[in-house]
Structure 1
Amino acid sequence: MDPGASSSIERRPTRRIMVGDVPVGGGSPVTVQSMTITKTADVDGTLAQIYALAAAGADIVRCTCNETEAAEGLARIVPRSPVPIVADIHHQYKMALAALEAGVACLRLNPGNIRRPEHIKTVAMEAKDRGVPIRIGVNGGSLDPKLYEKYGGKVTPEAMVESAQMELAYFEEVDFTDVKISVKASNVPLMIEAYRQLADVTDFPLHLGVTEAGPLPGGYIKATAGIATLLAEGIGDTIRYSLTADPVEEARAGRQLLEAMGLRERKGVDLIACPSCGRAEVDVIGVAEAAQKAFGERQIPLQVAVMGCVVNGPGEARDADLGIAAGNKRGHLFVKGENVAVVPEDEMVDTLVEWADYIVEHGTEAALERARHTKAEAKKAAAEDRARNLGDRGDDANDSEAVVELIRKTI
């Protein structure tokens, strides 16, 4: 696990492989993958997307290799890529051999459409000679017809696991063991059960994903439901969100999921915000969105809170590194739950960014010392706004007690 990451998840022990200089499995950090959607022959366009993916959190990027021009493109892309490149191979085993010549760090083979044993073993032997790992990428939508027939014409977890094991058997014949495996499906319960069964019968590292998860926001939900469930069980060594969207969204989502689960050290801002209530004195959604836009992709590894009022805001977000709570047309800035400054409402977001930069550069204690002369005034102002807020709206700002009384009268 990364230094600084915090998780109680006990990860499943696996073998470790190296995808270029990135370790996968064997207790190494769970990695994020995505795939380019450019034509691989478009070298500059593909490299631009690879760099964007790397900036968004991708550790490994996959590119299609479906034609000679794509293989030639890979030969020009690989030396200039900031992350290891995986070649995605379907149907044509010779494209796998060409991708190896191009210098890729890993191959992805689909056992559902490269079926001749001699072809599979030829690729495995060539990969072994070069020290290049292979991902066995089983897909519920492209199983070998014999497996469909064996399992009653249905895609089952058992059929997917057997597909992976058949491929492994071919690899074992040529003593190739530098392998990771995926058993992806678009059906979330099917995907989860397939990975659970696979984890029970092999110790190879597993690549998680819900294939064809679809457009946003539904794609996020399906992918997270499958990937997070398995990660929480300790299953999974590398992940990909397969979204019908800009692939940068895939990398960003994967990174954020791992950070949220404590499986990777935070790199960007973790922005938390209250859901708002009758006490809110600003448009919390608007302020939170403005803050998210202001922080963007900046490498600020802090938890930052945007709260709608000073009644509960600083207390509820006391564990945040930094936050702001609205009250009486002004913002109450707090560091680790301690009020340190008061700023005009229209300066709240800019102030958050400024203080976040200061904390990253100088540390929390220095930030509190910076506010030494303003803390007393800030605390007094926060107390005044808190009292005024409760006085105007009462402790029951959402009138829940009145509703309770109404219910009692009607029963």
Structure 2
Amino acid sequence: MQRKQTNAISVGNVGIGGANPIRVQSMCNTDTRDILSTTAQIRQLADAGCEIVRLAVPDDKAAAALSAIREQSPVPLIADIHFDHRLALAALDAGMDGLRINPGNIGDESKVDAVVRAAQQHGAPIRIGVNGGSLEKDLLKQFGGPTPEAMVESGLRHIRMLEKRGFTDIKISLKTSSVLNTITAYKLMADQIDYPLHIGITEAGTLVRGAVKSAVGLGVLLYEGIGDTLRVSLTHDPVAEIGVAYEILRSLGLRERGPEIISCPTCGRTEIHLIELAEQVEEALRGVDEVFTVAVMGCVVNGPGEAKEADIGIAGGRDLGIIFRKGEVVRKVKGNDNLLPEFMKEIQAFLKERRS
């Protein structure tokens, strides 16, 4: 993979594009006017590895809450603004680190001027967020619908509006719920600009469907070197988006965070509750940041050999389990009820050795 080189920008203290790593971000689904719940979710996202969080700012009350939220946030925040340029100005005054807007829908030329001036003064980048479901009517007519070409033209139109005002602290997104249209749109845009690209499949769906669509769409783009920051959009707890995002990046060798858990599919030789055990191990390790490989296998005969590259693993059999490192058995555990607690003890010992 050869990553397309884009211009580097900064959202707060987080660099995007250029030589920076591909950044993971998400969006709160709390009511921004509720400062307590919003700041709590931001912390949860940050703990999961989220590097930038976006907040909806639908009205003046939401804008009024931003200053207090920004003061408590451990990561940069982006204000999501539609139609009302006053909210963009208020968000910047509140210390938000960036804006997600489409300049063409926030008012006349004077209002665009005001927002661009404020963004320049605050050093806040602007993400132009093109969405296939809300393209300009003239482009829908010209291109015969929300085609990838229509999305690219919409993005270029908004880029020109900012460039005309001397503003180039820009990143772009071209999102639709169609995986193929999204891929095509980003490939077309990547050939025409050097601004950082925020990639994602919007309205991807519930946990499994959304994760699959995101993995396919984002995986193709990332493999072709396209993408500087991403969001996995799920109809689910936003924290789950972060785990899926890092697994996509890990699978392509682009970034790693936390342990990689490998586990075998169940079969007729499985004599333990393998699915439950694998899920329990995954949950127990959710807060661990170190990168290592954990194997949870259902067969004591083949398990250690099949997972011999794992740093540490467990394989279960009838009323017996074996714990191994790099394919070598280190000890046996009697009783299936003891598999999880004994395995977690061994993992803690393994991590203590690594940290010493």
**TM-score range normalised by the length of the shorter chain:** over 0.9
Tell me if structure 2 keeps the 8 A contact 1:310–1:325: yes
Report the secondary structure of 2:133's partner residue: coil
Q: 1:42 aligns with which of 34, 44, 62?
A: 34
State how many pairs are aligned.
Answer: 355
Question: CA offsets per residue over residues 45-90 of structure 1, 9 Å max, x none?
Answer: 1101111111122100000112111111111111110100000000
Call closer, same or farther: CA 1:239–1:203 in 2, change over 3 Å: same
| Equivalent position of 2:331 in the other structure | 341
TM-score after normalising by structure 1: 0.83
| Equivalent position of 1:187 in the other structure | 178
Q: Is residue 24 from structure 1 mapped to residue 16 from structure 2 by the alignment? A: yes
Q: 1:298 aligns with which of 277, 285, 288?
A: 288
The amino acid across from 2:209 in the alignment is G
Tell me if structure 2 keeps the 8 A contact 1:151–1:159: yes
Structure 1 residue 215: Cα displacement: 1.6
Query: 2: CA distance between counterparts of 1:33 and 1:238?
Result: 7
Structure 1 residue 115: Cα displacement: 5.8
Call closer, same or farther: CA 1:281–1:160 in 2, change over 3 Å: same
Query: 1: CA distance between counterparts of 2:262 and 2:109?
Result: 52
Q: Is residue 319 from structure 1 mapped to residue 309 from structure 2 by the alignment? A: yes
Report the secondary structure of 1:51's partner residue: helix
The amino acid across from 2:23 in the alignment is T
Structure 1 residue 130: Cα displacement: 1.7
Report the secondary structure of 2:253's partner residue: coil
Query: 2: CA distance between counterparts of 1:169 and 1:48?
Result: 38
Question: CA offsets per residue over residues 288-340 of structure 1, 9 Å max, x none?
Answer: 12222332333343211011112221111111110011234211111011111
TM-score after normalising by structure 2: 0.95
- Range with greater deviation from structure 2 (330-339 or 319-328): 319-328
Question: CA offsets per residue over residues 331-362 of structure 1, 9 Å max, x none?
Answer: 11110111111111322222222222222221
Call closer, same or farther: CA 1:156–1:225 in 2, change over 3 Å: same
- RMSD of aligned C-alpha atoms? 1.7
Query: 2: CA distance between counterparts of 1:316 and 1:121?
Result: 62
Q: 2:343 aligns with which of 327, 340, 352?
A: 352
Query: 1: CA distance between counterparts of 2:104 and 2:255?
Result: 33
Larger Rg: 1
Q: Is residue 126 from structure 1 mapped to residue 99 from structure 2 by the alignment? A: no
| Equivalent position of 1:288 in the other structure | 278
Query: 2: CA distance between counterparts of 1:15 and 1:169?
Result: 16
Query: 1: CA distance between counterparts of 2:192 and 2:108?
Result: 24
Structure 1 residue 112: Cα displacement: 6.2
- Range with greater deviation from structure 2 (298-307 or 80-89): 298-307
The amino acid across from 2:62 in the alignment is A
Query: 2: CA distance between counterparts of 1:115 and 1:339?
Result: 68
| Equivalent position of 1:390 in the other structure | none
| Equivalent position of 1:227 in the other structure | 218
Unaligned runs of 5+ in 1: 1-8, 367-411
| Equivalent position of 2:76 in the other structure | 84
Report the secondary structure of 1:182's partner residue: strand
The amino acid across from 1:350 in the alignment is P
Q: Is residue 176 from structure 1 mapped to residue 138 from structure 2 by the alignment? A: no
Tell me if structure 2 keeps the 8 A contact 1:11–1:27: no
| Equivalent position of 1:375 in the other structure | none
- Range with greater deviation from structure 2 (348-357 or 315-324): 348-357
Unaligned runs of 5+ in 2: none
Structure 1 residue 111: Cα displacement: 4.8
The amino acid across from 2:118 in the alignment is E
| Equivalent position of 2:187 in the other structure | 196
Query: 1: CA distance between counterparts of 2:106 and 2:220?
Result: 31
Report the secondary structure of 1:141's partner residue: helix
Structure 1 residue 131: Cα displacement: 1.0
Query: 2: CA distance between counterparts of 1:118 and 1:253?
Result: 41
Matches within 5 A, 1:43-122: 43-111=35-103, 113-114=105-106, 116-122=108-114
| Equivalent position of 2:231 in the other structure | 240
The amino acid across from 2:183 in the alignment is I
